[in-house]
Chain A
Amino acid sequence: RKEVEQDPGPFNVPEGATVAFNCTYSNSASQSFFWYRQDCRKEPKLLMSVYSSGNEDGRFTAQLNRASQYISLLIRDSKLSDSATYLCVVNEGYSTLTFGKGTMLLVSP
């Protein structure tokens, strides 16, 4: 069975902290990778795509390790508004997405 595994958390961090999430996937043929953010009772929203060379968007950095089949997300200088569930998402081909169960982040003042 194709799976995406994440630590459910919650990760409790103070404002300004750096926090990292990891995710592993089982299908070595996976083609593309994403992090989505989901606020409570809302739809998932695309945070960033994850490229083999790694990519950065402001305070957020994503890394992909194909050999070990894991993806990471680093959030620097955490804000209260970063509190959400972060979903690791894998696309095995050019169609459906497989989601992890999500990692909950709680940023406190």
Chain B
Amino acid sequence: DTGVSQDPRHKITKRGQNVTFRCDPISEHNRLYWYRQTLGQGPEFLTYFQNEAQLEKSRLLSDRFSAERPKGSFSTLEIQRTEQGDSAMYLCASSLITGTYSYEQYFGPGTRLTVT
């Protein structure tokens, strides 16, 4: 399968614990995005990378959240000291940017986080 992959698919954690999610984008894509989706809402942008550079972060991304893409390939999203409000589906997407043209974003299956 050459699509976007995410791991784990499901994570249940206790409040206060740290969690880390991984995303592997489509191999030729240079942009990688993280979104969060809660029930009844559309996905909300968190942050994105172009290659290894983190170019934009949403105000939704509190100090407890950090994302990395160290070699411009896979990315990790870490949430420290999880809260019940962090329970959501965390979606990763990737796309290709060439010059000024931005191609469509393709999403991974998501990581569903439940904080108890």
Contact = CB atoms under 8 A, between A and B. Distances in A.
Asked if A pairs with B, the answer is: yes
Interface of A: 4, 8, 32, 34, 41-46, 49, 87, 89, 91, 94-102
Interface of B: 31, 33, 40-45, 48, 55-56, 91, 97, 100-102, 104-110, 112
Contacts of A43: 91, 107-110
Nearest to A94: B102
B102 A100 contact: no
B12 to A, nearest CB: 16
A96 B100 contact: no
A87 B42 contact: yes
25 contacts: A32-B102, A34-B104, A43-B107, A43-B108, A44-B43, A44-B91, A44-B107, A46-B104, A46-B106, A87-B42, A87-B43, A89-B42, A91-B102, A94-B97, A94-B102, A95-B55, A95-B56, A95-B102, A96-B33, A96-B45, A97-B43, A99-B44, A100-B42, A101-B40, A101-B42
B112 to A, nearest CB: 8
A20 B109 CA distance: 27
Contacts of B101: 94
A96 B56 contact: yes
Nearest to A49: B104
A99 B89 CA distance: 15
A44 B35 CA distance: 11
B45 A97 contact: yes
Nearest to A34: B104
Q: Which 5 A-B residue pairings sit nearest by Cβ, starting from the closest? A: A99-B42, A43-B107, A94-B102, A96-B45, A101-B42
A97 B44 contact: no
Nearest to A36: B107
